[in-house]
Structure 1
Amino acid sequence: MTEQQRYRVVAKHPGFELRRYPTHLVAEMRVTGGLVEAGNEAFQPLAAYISGANRVRRKVGMTAPVVQEPAEPQKIAMTSPVVQEEGDRPDCWLVRFVLPAELTPGTAPEPEDDRIVIRELPAQLAAAVRFSGRWTETAFGQRATALGRAVTAAGLQPTGAIRYARFDPPWKPWFLRRNEVVLPVVE
Structure 2
Amino acid sequence: MRLAAMASGVLLAGCSVLGVRQGTEEPRYTVLALANGVEIRRYGPRIAAETVVAQDEMAARNTGFRRLARYIFGANRRQVKIEMTAPVAQGHGEAIAMTAPVAQDRRPDGAWVIRFFMPAKWTMETLPVPDDPAVLLVQVPEQTVAVLRFTGWRDAGTIAGRQSELLRRLEATTWRAEGKPVVWFYDPPWTIPFLRRNEVVVPVLPR
TM-score range, shorter chain: 0.7 to 0.9
Report the RMSD for the aligned CA atoms in angstroms: 1.2
Q: Pick the aligned partner of 2:183 from 161, 164, 171.
A: 164
Report which of the two has the higher share of strand. 1
Do 1:15 and 1:147's aligned partners in 2 also have CA atoms closer than 8 Å?
Answer: no
Shift of 1:156: 2.1
Residue in 1 that maps onto 2:8: none
- Is 1:54 aligned to 2:76, yes or no? yes
Shift of 1:59: 0.4
Residue in 2 that maps onto 1:24: 46
Residue in 2 that maps onto 1:34: 56
SS at match of 1:5: coil
- Is 1:64 aligned to 2:83, yes or no? no
Question: Quick check: which has more Rg, 1 or 2?
Answer: 2
Q: Percent identity?
A: 39
Residue in 2 that maps onto 1:81: none
In structure 2, what is the Cα distance between the partners aligned to 1:116 and 1:12?
A: 35
Q: Pick the aligned partner of 2:35 from 13, 27, 36.
A: 13
Shift of 1:169: 1.4
SS at match of 2:103: strand
Do 1:10 and 1:20's aligned partners in 2 also have CA atoms closer than 8 Å?
Answer: yes
Do 2:186 and 2:197's aligned partners in 1 also have CA atoms closer than 8 Å?
Answer: yes
Number of corresponding residues: 170
Shift of 1:161: 2.3
* Unaligned segments of structure 1, at least 5 residues: 73-88
Shift of 1:34: 2.3
Spell out the pairing of 1:95-110 with structure 2 (5 A cutoff): 95-110=114-129
Q: Show structure 1 runs of 4+ deviating over 2 A.
A: none
SS at match of 1:186: strand
* Unaligned segments of structure 2, at least 5 residues: 1-22, 79-92
Residue in 2 that maps onto 1:128: 147
User: Match for 1:146: what amino acid?
Assistant: E
